[in-house]
Amino acid sequence: MSYLVLARKWRPTVFENVIGQGHVPTTLKNAINSKRIAHAYLFSGPRGVGKTTIARILAKALNCAKGQTPSPCNECQSCKEITGNISVDVIEIDGASNTSVDNVREIRENIKYLPSYGKYRVYIIDEVHMLSNQAFNALLKTLEEPPAHAIFIFATTEAHKVPATILSRCQRFDFKRISLREIQEHLKFVAKTEGISITEGGVYIIAKEVDGSLRDAHSLLDQIIAFAGTDIKESDIVEALGLMDRTLLFQLSETIIDRNGNECLKLIEKVYNFGYDLKRFCQVLLEHIRDLVIVKVVEEPEGILDSPENEIEELKRLSKKVSLLNLKWMFALLSKGYEDISRSPSPRFTLEMTLLKMVHLENLESINAILDKLEELKANSSNSSAALAKKELANEVKTGVSSLKTAVNASLGNGQWSDFLAFIRKKKPALASHIELVNPAFTEEGVTLNIKDGPYYVYLSENKKSLEQLLNEFFERKIFIAIQVDENTAMPSKIKGDDTIIKEVMKTLGGRVVEDRRRANV
């Protein structure tokens, strides 16, 4: 007898053996027990998680010689033929290669025939999203009112491509990626049963690589057994699958944390010469930095990380050498590098520059930590040194202000104030109308606007920041503004607390009081 690959040998034949999809078998078994069998099902989810497997088990459960049962016997003729994929009552169709409307018409012609053995004729259409729009349209009527003996089971990895008219006629089940821990436990069981010796770290590497697909895990294990035999070490897995040695990953992260650019570039040289895909390498390094963050933040990271114990201990050791803020910046830099590598004509150089940025990332501190240090320095500084520093700072400010005054007067002395008014009329007409009649005075503090009109003073005070920005933009230098009001200027009166009507108007219309011109006793 020819060799049966592990993916087929360990394919579940009953609902109880399905791994990682507990909600689907439970629902289907309850439906069988209560005789509530739908005429159409849609199984959606990633590859290799059990969609077609559960479809076959459901077909066996419905057509078993024992009658409809959630636990098919796998011994009768019907069960054996369905398991061997030779049953005339269970028709499996590849949607990717049977996409035309003619293929669907053939199904419509054959669906009227009764099943040979069991009660149902089951049509399993894999990758159903690949059918053409015309094929879907031809299937609609049959799917809406199928014969009593016909059941459709659709499987797809891209449910969003299936028309809504089809989805609305099906019971939908979303399959999940199988967890890393479940794949690890299953691979250990398979290896033990098959007489294969494999390390804990080796099982982790395989489970990590398959991205939640149990079928892929079986296939990789088969490949590794063919390479290394029955005694499998981590180095065998790395070599057989062309993976990067995780020891190299830890070495690289440590050189980055230790700011050793020379050693970092040497390690990248190793990665490049090995022929490892640099984009994939960048993704693995991102996952590694994420693991460092988890170890840094979470008290018991074992509950989140499914890594081997020795790797978690190494992650803890490395995380003590770097701050959380630096790790976040490393992740951000590497994420940007990942995008750049995809577009770069020289991915190696892009990766090297990205990692060197990470190497030369200074030790960062949070704003709160910096403020605390400033407060501490301020408290510890002596009066004499503080006075000296204050004097020096005052001299610097005085010199800077003097230069500012000279520069401003030089600019405005050339008649540029009128040019500024023309400039501001285009930018802020309302603001321009308030400063056209104001004569500016230039002092050591910058520009002083003397206001004699109360409402003008209120308006300009509220828009002081905008005015400073316009001055800076026009004169291309930093100019400070002071707004003064004459002592005899009548300021707008404030609304009294009992002016509820005006307050209600302001609240409703979103306005504000500029001036109160109400006469007394009116």
pLDDT digits (tens, 9 = 90+) for 294-338: 999 988 888 788 788 888 899 999 999 988 888 999 999 999 999
219 in helix, strand or coil? helix
101 and 44 in a common domain: yes
302 in helix, strand or coil? helix
| 510: in domain | no
440 and 336 in a common domain: no
| 299: in domain | yes
- Residues forming a β-bridge with 451: 485
pLDDT digits (tens, 9 = 90+) for 344-364: 899 999 999 999 999 988 765
User: For the residues 202-227, what does the mean pLDDT come to?
Assistant: 92
Look up residue 201 and give its two tokens.
């770290």
Domain of residue 267: give its range.
246-359
d(CA 71, CA 19): 16
| 468: in domain | yes
pLDDT digits (tens, 9 = 90+) for 409-458: 544 544 566 777 788 888 788 777 777 767 777 665 567 777 766 676 77
- Residues forming a β-bridge with 372: none
Give the β-pairing of 446-451 and 440-443. Answer: antiparallel
The CA dihedral of 453, 459, 465, 470, to the nearest 10 degrees, is -80
pLDDT digits (tens, 9 = 90+) for 250-297: 999 999 999 999 999 999 998 898 888 899 899 999 999 999 999 999
Q: Could you tell me the CATH number of the domain that includes residue 196?
A: 1.10.8.60
Give the β-pairing of 40-44 and 171-174. Answer: parallel
167 and 31 in a common domain: yes
Average pLDDT, the chain: 82
- Residues forming a β-bridge with 437: none
163 and 72 in a common domain: yes
| 511: in domain | no
Given CA atoms 342, 347, 351, 354 in this order, what sign does their dihedral have?
negative
Residue among 12, 63, 13 at smallest CA distance from 37: 63
Angle 248-249-255 (CA atoms, 0-180°, nearest 5)? 85
Question: Is the full-model pTM beyond 0.95?
Answer: no
What's the gap between Cα 440 and its chain centre? 54
211 and 74 in a common domain: no
Residue among 176, 126, 174, 116 at smallest CA distance from 153: 126
Query: Do you know the residue count of the chain?
Result: 522
d(CA 488, CA 299): 68
Given CA atoms 452, 455, 461, 465 in this order, what sign does their dihedral have?
negative
100 and 29 in a common domain: yes
User: Quick one: pLDDT at residue 14?
Assistant: 93
d(CA 370, CA 376): 10
| 170: in domain | yes
- pLDDT at 26 > cutoff 90: yes
232 and 165 in a common domain: no
116 and 35 in a common domain: yes
Query: First and final CA of the chain: distance in angstroms?
Result: 111
137 and 50 in a common domain: yes
Q: Could you tell me the CATH number of the domain that includes residue 335?
A: 1.20.272.10
- From the CB of residue 53, how many other CB atoms can be counted at a distance below 10 Å? 22
149 and 10 in a common domain: yes
Residue among 161, 156, 168 at smallest CA distance from 133: 161
170 and 89 in a common domain: yes
- From the CB of residue 171, how many other CB atoms can be counted at a distance below 10 Å? 15
Q: Which pLDDT band holds residue 391 (cuts at 50, 70, 90)?
A: low
d(CA 51, CA 155): 6
Q: What is the number of structural domains in the chain?
A: 4
| 469: in domain | yes
User: For the residues 387-414, what does the mean pLDDT come to?
Assistant: 49
| Residue 127, amino acid | E
| 82: in domain | yes
Look up residue 25 and give its two tokens.
């078998």
Of the listed ranges 201-215, 373-387, 446-460, the least confidently predicted one is 373-387
| 517: in domain | no
pLDDT digits (tens, 9 = 90+) for 84-135: 888 899 999 988 888 788 888 888 888 988 988 788 999 999 999 999 888 8
253 and 327 in a common domain: yes
Q: Could you tell me the CATH number of the domain that includes residue 12?
A: 3.40.50.300
> Which of 128, 152, 174 is the C-terminal boundary of a domain?
174
d(CA 257, CA 500): 64
Angle 261-262-266 (CA atoms, 0-180°, nearest 5)? 110
Look up residue 304 and give its two tokens.
């989140």
Distances (CA, A) of 106 to 56, 90, 93, 121, 425: 22, 15, 12, 15, 76
Give the residue ranges of DSSP H helices in 298-382: 309-319, 324-343, 347-359, 367-380
91 in helix, strand or coil? strand
